[in-house]
Amino acid sequence: LLVREALKAGLQIDCLPGATALIPALVKSGFPTDRFVFEGFLPHKKGRQTLLKKLAEEDRTIILYESPHRLIKTLEQLIEFFGPDRQVSVSRELTKLHEETRTGTVNEVLEHFKKKDVKGEIVIVIDGKKE
């Protein structure tokens, strides 16, 4: 709750990682941290659309890993299955010199990353479905 309010106030959040990038990305997103599901990397082909359809109905915060060369495709698929207005946070290069976190609607985040040459390790955090 504190991180969410700090983000609303325009403050930058830094989070020190442990052994994994998913927790700092989750904290930096400002999305609910009390219940979440970590899916790792999405399947490349077989089962990908089925999993995305299932995840679109998930009410918990969703965390995915993604490679830089598949980020745009994944964000486009999130628009297709989750809708363009679902809130998403993409963190890359956590704790490194070029660390970046972009949070907004899937459409806003997609437009941001379309303009960049994306490199580094990427964590996608998706706000759970609201009723």
**Cα gap 25→128, rounded to integer Å:** 15
Backbone phi, then psi, for 30, in 5-degree steps?
A: 80, 0
**Model confidence pLDDT, tens digit, residues 37-81:** 999 999 998 999 999 999 999 999 999 999 999 999 999 999 999
> Who's near 41: CB < 8 A, 6+ residues apart?
64, 65, 66, 67
Output Rg (C-alpha) for the chain, integer angstroms.
14
**pLDDT tens digits for range 15-43:** 766 678 899 999 999 999 999 999 999 99
| Structure confidence at residue 13 as a pLDDT band (50, 70, 90) | confident
Closest among 11, 2, 16, 19 to 103, alpha carbons compared: 11
State phi, psi for 86 to the nearest 5 degrees: -65, 140
